[in-house]
Amino acid sequence: MALTKVQERQSFKGPENWFTGHVRVEMLFTPQAKARTSAGSVTFEPEARTAWHSHPIGQSLIVTAGVGYVQFWGEERQEIVSGDVVWIPAGVKHWHGASEKMAMTHIAVQEEENGSAADWMELVSDAQYAGI
């Protein structure tokens, strides 16, 4: 068994090449032994968002607070709220983040393939974020 106490975890600012705006990431767990799964609690301040990215095995988002958006490449953005769960299939280019006026927190769960859980791409432009 491995028990990680909440006071042992640290949060960090989301890297600028992966996020736009103020984002805090708290890793809940990383892969152990033969496991490939990791999870993090990510808080996005209003208008903050990820860059476009995909996951080699997919990702689940569990919205725990606030209001935000998720968008798959070539589709319209969808509003997500506290209590919603989003499944993002493997290899699907997408972004997610907070709404214009409200912060959003979600738990992101993903698996690694060949040591990578995400393939990061270009930042989401303000026009893309606005849905124009």
Nearest to 41 by CA among 21, 63, 59: 63
Q: What is the pLDDT of residue 44?
A: 98
Domain holding 41: CATH number?
2.60.120.10
Q: What is the pLDDT of residue 115?
A: 86
DSSP letter at 6? G
Q: What is the pLDDT of residue 34?
A: 87
Q: Is the pLDDT of residue 33 over 90?
A: no
Total domains present in the chain: 1
The percentage of residues in the chain with a pLDDT greater than 90, rounded to a whole number, is 86
Interval 15-37 mean pLDDT: 94
For 25, the domain range is 14-116
Residue 130 host element (H or E): helix 126-130
